Amino acid sequence: MKSCVWVSKNGRVSEADGIQPRDALLFATGTATSEDLLLQQRIAAEQNIRLIRSRLAEATRR
Amino acid sequence: MGKTKIFISSVSEDGLKPLRRTAFRELESLGHEPLMWEENLGPWPSYLNPVEKCLEAVGESDLYVLFIGTKAGTYDPVSGITVTHSELISALDKGIAALVWADVQVKARFFASVAYRLDAYIDRYVEETGQYPDNGRLLDFLRTCEEADAHVDPYVWLLLYDLRQRGIYVEDLAAAVPIDWKSYFSDLLRRGLLLLPLEPSIMDNSLRLEQAGQSFDLMTALLPQVRLEPPGSWADWLATVSQRLQGRQVKHAYGSWSRETVGHYEACNGASLYRHEGGELRFVACCGQTSAVRAFALDDQSSYVALTYGMGSRAEGVYYKEARQKFFYCVRSGPYVATFHFPAGPSWSNLRYMRYKDSVNNAIIGPNTQMIRLVSLFLGGMRQ
């Protein structure tokens, strides 16, 4: 999902477009959640472990 | 005993042919197994794609050697890269060590001027469009760039630029100076010998990492099954979490390899906790540099607490306020909303946040994913 920026100003939320006042509150939706990132990190860690083990096995095989 | 397979890559240009031939012979005489198109790779039957076969050979090699002259070789307009470049990417992607040489004059011109012209062009393009220029645009720019010598194919500069971005050292390639392969391999042997004896430690660490992951999984499976008593001091509880939330750089990725630091945020200096009660979000506790607001109405659209609560029972989000120059990371779990406050570095503004929102989000959440999961599970498990 493409992320989108929203702005809260004068007590109302709308899609942020163009210059916003300094006291506006900005936030985005559609960005990665902690669960998305945790899953990505776990997959990457598992791949790294597999690569390191296979390389070490190859490197120490006689 | 296994021989070291060395893939020799370069564009098939006349100036590099003697060098490639000499390299092949020398590597062979040193007891290695060089792989090179003209010598022992291909030709393959017509139904096989030679590029794919070359990439396969790259993947089977132990070392990737690249010579860069003035020619770029075959450019694939669909992928936007040359065959030689795709061999390099394939080698690096598979974690294969690379040794790279470039024509001494081309390299000197690149690092003296072309690289900076490319930097400036890319910065300007990103500033104007918010996107990283594709290779087609970069090649168009290089064709008009005065510093980029006309006798050098524009893609050669892009290849060198990619190598610089990846931090790969490029050796000088001069016609009259032979490559001292023995020295290179002695250095590679030294580096390998530093790492090989560490095998037991590396294996231990990988095992512990797996065990830590399994323990975390067990904890996240068990926590939802229990009910917890609220802590004696919520402020101490918040401080325990917020003290562990460090400041970091915000890096923006352009494609798979190019990354730019676009700002930073400082360590968490305040946190607060609110709880849904009596039709409003009531203040529970805070710590650090933050002030308490007694309660927020559920429909208060000016409050990041109420906005997060309204997004769902496991919502979370990063907010930015230029007037306070802070990022606020908010996480809801059941009736609770916890907020963690990070001073934003001086480079941040509303416009900059809008441009780099995904990178800000990933920079704040990414390093703290496990902690956030635990905070969420603990809050969700509190006895009401």
Contact B350 A28 (CB under 8 A): no
Q: Half-sphere exposure (CA, 13 Å, Cβ side) for B24?
A: 17
How far is residue B31's CA from residue B228's CA, in Å, rounded to a whole number? Answer: 66
Q: What is the pLDDT of residue B53?
A: 85
Give the confidence band of B175 by pLDDT, cuts at 50, 70, 90: confident
Say yes or no to pLDDT of B254 above 80.
no
- Using DSSP's 3-state secondary structure scheme, residue B309 falls into helix
pLDDT score at B294: 94
Q: Average pLDDT in the B39-44 region?
A: 78
Per-residue pLDDT for B61 more than 90?
Answer: yes
Please give the structure tokens belonging to residue B23: 């390299």
Fold entry, domain B227-380: Beta-Lactamase (3.30.450)
Chain B contact for A50 (CB, 8 A cutoff): no
From chain A, pick out residues whose CB is under 8 angstroms from the CB of B348.
none
Interface probe with B: pick from A1, A12, A17, A25, most Cβ of B within 10 Å: A25
Quick check: B124 contacting A, CB < 8 Å? no
Which element (helix H / strand E) includes A58?
A: helix A34-60
**Residues 204-243 (B) with a CB less than 8 A from some CB of A:** 206, 209-210, 213
pTM equals: 0.81
More confident position, A22 or B78: A22
- Reported as a single tens digit per residue, the pLDDT across A5-30 is 999 999 999 999 888 999 999 999 98
Q: What's chain A's average pLDDT?
A: 90
pLDDT of residue B142: 95
Residue-level length of chain A: 62
Whole-angstrom distance, CA of residue B89 vs CA of residue B208: 32
pLDDT at residue B67 is higher than 70: yes
In chain A, whose CA is at the least distance from the CA of B304? A25
What is the predicted pLDDT for the residue at B324? Answer: 96
Chain A contact for B317, CB < 8 A? yes
Q: Can you tell me the mean pLDDT for B362-379?
A: 95
Residue A62 has pLDDT above 80, yes or no: no
Q: How many CB atoms lie within 10 A of CB B234?
A: 20
| Predicted pLDDT at A35 | 93
Answer whether residue B359 shows pLDDT above 80.
Answer: yes
Q: Which two tokens stand for residue B75?
A: 């450019």
SS3 B269: coil
Q: What is the pLDDT of residues B8-27, one digit of tens each?
A: 987 877 778 888 899 999 99
According to the model, what pLDDT value does residue B176 have?
Answer: 78
Of A23, A41, A52, the CB nearest to B206: A52
Task: Determine the pLDDT at residue A17.
Answer: 86
Q: Is the pLDDT of residue B65 over 90?
A: yes
pLDDT single digits (tens) B263-291: 999 999 999 999 999 999 999 999 999 98
**Can you tell me the mean pLDDT for B291-320?**
95
pLDDT, chain B, mean: 92
Q: B194-248 pLDDT, tens per residue?
A: 998 999 999 999 999 999 999 999 999 999 999 999 999 999 999 999 999 999 9
- The fold of the B5-179 domain, in CATH, is Rossmann fold (3.40.50)
| CB neighbour list of residue B193: distance below 8 Å, 6 or more residues apart | none
pLDDT band at A59 (very low <50, low <70, confident <90, very high): confident
pLDDT in tens, B94-141: 889 999 999 999 999 999 999 999 999 988 888 788 778 889 999 999
Q: CA dihedral in degrees (B101, B106, B107, B109; nearest 10)?
A: 180
The region of weakest confidence among B97-101, B311-315, B380-384 is B380-384
Partners of residue B316 on adjacent β-strands: B331
CB B66 within 8 A of CB B19: no
Residue B173 has a pLDDT of 92
| Residue B223 CA neighbour count, 13 Å, CB half | 16
Domain boundaries, chain A: 1-31, 32-62
The fraction of chain B above a pLDDT of 90, given in percent, is 73
| B325 contacts chain A (CB < 8 A) | no
CB neighbourhood size of B380 (10 A): 17
The whole-number pLDDT of residue A2 equals 64
Instruction: Inform me whether the C-beta atom of residue B7 falls under 8 Å from chain A C-beta atoms.
Output: no
Q: Which one of B95, B202, B301 has the shortest CB-CB distance to A11?
A: B301
Q: Is the pLDDT of residue A1 over 60?
A: no
Strand (E) positions, A10-62?
A: 12-15, 25-29
* CB B308, CB B316: distance < 8 Å: yes
B375 to chain A, any CB pair closer than 8 A? The answer is: no
Average pLDDT of span B149-159:
94
Q: How many CB atoms lie within 10 A of CB B233?
A: 12
Local structure of residue B326 (DSSP, 8 states): E
Any idea where the domains of chain B sit in the sequence? Answer: 5-179, 227-380
pLDDT at B257: 63
Res A39: pLDDT? 95
Partner-chain contact B202 A25, CB within 8 Å:
no
